Amino acid sequence: MNIMKADYYLSWDVTQFKNEYGDEIEMEIIQYPNEYLVTVNICDEQPPYRDITATGTHPRSKKHAAKKAMILLYKQAYPELFNR
């Protein structure tokens, strides 16, 4: 029997917000029994088009998983500011 991981989530939430650089961020937070999984995206609707995604996990903390994902996202989206 093939059971997908999605069958075991405890909660799921999606939020959208503008960051300090004016980009719209979509954050998806999924709580599984043994971890939080946070996926963040920047998808531009006007040129220059970017579609950037990053993921962070943590065994107990939604906040720590989100911070990991945001750091990875910012390193991709703003390399001149965050890859020093």
72 within domain boundaries:
yes
Domain range spanning residue 41? 5-78
83 within domain boundaries:
no
84 within domain boundaries:
no
- pLDDT averaged over the chain? 90
Q: The pTM is what?
A: 0.86
pLDDT at position 1 over 50:
no
49 within domain boundaries:
yes
pLDDT at 3: 44
Q: Which of 40, 28, 44 is nearest to 71 (CA)?
A: 40
25 within domain boundaries:
yes
pLDDT at 44: 83
The domain total for the chain is 1
Question: b or e along 57-80 (b: 16 or more beta carbons within 10 Å of the residue's beta carbon)?
Answer: bbeeebeebbebbbebbbeebeee
